[in-house]
């Protein structure tokens, strides 16, 4: 089958076989251009020219897990740890609102210092002070906790499954279970959150076959938001000597998922911008419609080191916002107004 025919099928049926996805992942030259052009067109048709900005608040760098790729892993004794207190988190959310953000993303390592009550209290306080959508990105919890956060006012939840290859998952996530992660994602969906999930590109040992399977799993989970980023080796982790993930495969995965879930929200991730100075621009031109700038103080930004070389680490939140707005305008796009709920979620509701 030719790439042109595969793209046509993707546009009409929103589903592809694993082999078809693999062919798209390996596309080169004109075929590759056509994939990106088609994804950009589908993005425009289904979610328009608005690019929505999300204010990212990384509120704790403590983590009880030990993921092989992540700089926040508990075995990294050199990691700088911090926890923001409740009122401080609420203040940053208010500041984000004043800067124009209508969604805040509360992200942290898996830090049980914040229990059900404290997180519910943070969510309620933010919701009663400013009119923003709240996205949680705090990892695996119990059904009861997810439900309590939703009842307290959380709207969305992001949690990547990282890799659908269970053998690799087990290898890189000691003490964790793939099955539990998928169960959590299903709970989150059933509780009525907008669900965000995705995976890492370029974990050592990962194949094109695995990536095609990852793409199919995002489709199967019926994600409203899709986060895909290249793996970047962190010097204080067991994967320090591994090769970094491919920007090209990241862009292709974004493009393919835009075709399979045309009305999803897809960010051009910070990791993509870290490996390629024009990475976020390229992402926005092949299917992405979201950017997630950090709104924290510099003193915290520096300490939340998932991977080295993160962009914007020395820029204050206002500067980042201005910079990203000019990127969006330079691409002929518009900064989104309002909360920018996933259209996929709206349609399903
Ligand atoms: N390189 C790229 N992305 C990483 N993440 C964690 N560590 C790394 C790394 N070294 C990603 C994971 C996680 C998200 C918050 O950050 O996919 O889900
Ligand atoms: Fe932060 Fe450019 S986006 S400085």
Largest separation between any pair of C-alpha atoms in the chain: 57
- Each residue's pLDDT tens digit, 255-313: 999 999 999 999 999 999 999 999 999 999 999 999 999 999 999 999 999 999 999 88
* Closest atom, ligand 2, to C-alpha of 324: 3
For residue 238, report the distance from its CA to the centre of ligand 2, in Å. Answer: 30
Q: Binning pLDDT at 50, 70 and 90, where does residue 346 land?
A: confident
pLDDT, residue 348, reads 72
| 119 exposure class (CB count in 10 Å sphere: 0-12, 13-18, 19+) | buried
Domain coordinates in residue numbering, the chain? 3-348
pLDDT, residue 347, reads 73
Mean predicted confidence (pLDDT) in 181-189: 98
Phi and psi torsions of 56, nearest 5° = -90, 125
Phi and psi torsions of 278, nearest 5° = -105, 15
Mean predicted confidence (pLDDT) in 325-336: 97
User: Are the C-beta atoms of residues 32 and 252 closer than 8 Å to each other?
Assistant: yes
Mean predicted confidence (pLDDT) in 38-42: 98
pLDDT, residue 88, reads 98
For residue 201, report the distance from its CA to the centre of ligand 1, in Å. Answer: 10
User: Are the C-beta atoms of residues 164 and 182 closer than 8 Å to each other?
Assistant: no
Mean pLDDT for the chain overall: 97
Ligand nearest to the CA of 309: 1
Alpha-carbon gap, residue 128 to 36, rounded angstroms: 42
Mean predicted confidence (pLDDT) in 241-256: 98
pLDDT, residue 203, reads 98
User: Are the C-beta atoms of residues 148 and 118 closer than 8 Å to each other?
Assistant: no
Inform me whether the pLDDT recorded for 44 exceeds 90: yes
* Partners of residue 228 on adjacent β-strands: 199
CATH code, residues 3-348? 3.20.20.70
Joined together, the tokens standing for residue 28 give 């080169």
Mean predicted confidence (pLDDT) in 202-222: 98
* Partners of residue 229 on adjacent β-strands: 200
Ligand 2 pocket check: which of 51, 281, 319 to mutate, most ligand atoms within 8 Å of Cβ?
319
Is the CB of 292 within 6 Å of ligand 2? no
pLDDT, residue 334, reads 98
- Each residue's pLDDT tens digit, 107-163: 999 999 999 999 999 999 999 999 999 999 999 999 999 999 999 999 999 999 999
- Each residue's pLDDT tens digit, 6-33: 999 999 999 999 999 999 999 999 999 9
Is the CB of 186 within 6 Å of ligand 2? no
- Each residue's pLDDT tens digit, 162-183: 999 999 999 999 999 999 999 9
Q: Binning pLDDT at 50, 70 and 90, where does residue 71 land?
A: very high
Inform me whether the pLDDT recorded for 349 exceeds 80: no
Question: How many residues comprise the chain?
Answer: 349
pLDDT, residue 85, reads 97
Q: Strand 133-137 relative to strand 103-108: parallel, antiparallel, unpaired?
A: parallel
* Partners of residue 51 on adjacent β-strands: 335
Q: At what angle do helices 3-13 and 18-25 cross, to 10 degrees?
A: 120
């Amino acid at each position: 089958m030719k790439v042109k025919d595969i793209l046509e099928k993707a546009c009409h049926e929103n589903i592809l076989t694993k082999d078809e996805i693999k062919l798209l992942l390996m596309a080169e030259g004109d075929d590759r251009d056509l994939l990106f052009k088609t994804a950009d067109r589908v993005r425009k048709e289904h979610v328009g020219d608005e690019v929505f900005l999300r204010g990212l608040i990384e509120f704790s760098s403590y983590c009880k897990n030990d993921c092989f790729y992540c700089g926040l892993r508990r075995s990294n004794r050199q990691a700088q740890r911090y926890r923001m207190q409740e009122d401080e988190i609420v203040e940053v959310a208010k500041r984000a609102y004043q800067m124009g953000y209508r969604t805040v993303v509360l992200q942290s390592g898996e830090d049980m210092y914040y229990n059900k009550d404290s997180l519910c209290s943070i969510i309620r306080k933010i919701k009663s002070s400013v009119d923003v959508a709240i996205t949680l990105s705090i990892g695996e919890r119990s059904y009861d906790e997810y439900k309590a956060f939703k009842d307290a006012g959380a709207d969305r939840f992001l949690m990547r499954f990282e890799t659908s290859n269970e053998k690799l998952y087990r290898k890189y996530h000691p003490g964790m279970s793939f099955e539990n992660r998928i169960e959590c994602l299903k709970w989150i969906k059933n509780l009525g959150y907008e669900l965000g999930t995705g995976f890492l590109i370029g974990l050592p040992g990962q194949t094109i076959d695995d990536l095609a399977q990852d793409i199919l799993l995002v489709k199967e989970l019926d994600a409203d938001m899709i986060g895909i980023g290249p793996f970047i080796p962190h010097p204080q982790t067991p994967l320090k000597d591994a090769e970094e993930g491919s920007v090209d495969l990241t862009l292709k995965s974004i493009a393919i998922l835009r075709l399979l879930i045309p009305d999803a929200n897809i960010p051009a991730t910070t990791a993509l911008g870290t490996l390629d100075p024009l990475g976020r621009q390229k992402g926005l031109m092949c299917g992405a419609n979201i950017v997630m700038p950090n709104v924290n103080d510099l003193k915290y930004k520096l300490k939340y080191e998932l991977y080295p070389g993160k962009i914007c680490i020395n820029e204050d939140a206002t500067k980042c916002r201005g910079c990203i707005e000019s990127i969006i305008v330079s691409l002929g796009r518009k900064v989104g107004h309002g909360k920018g709920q996933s259209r996929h979620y709206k349609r399903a509701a």
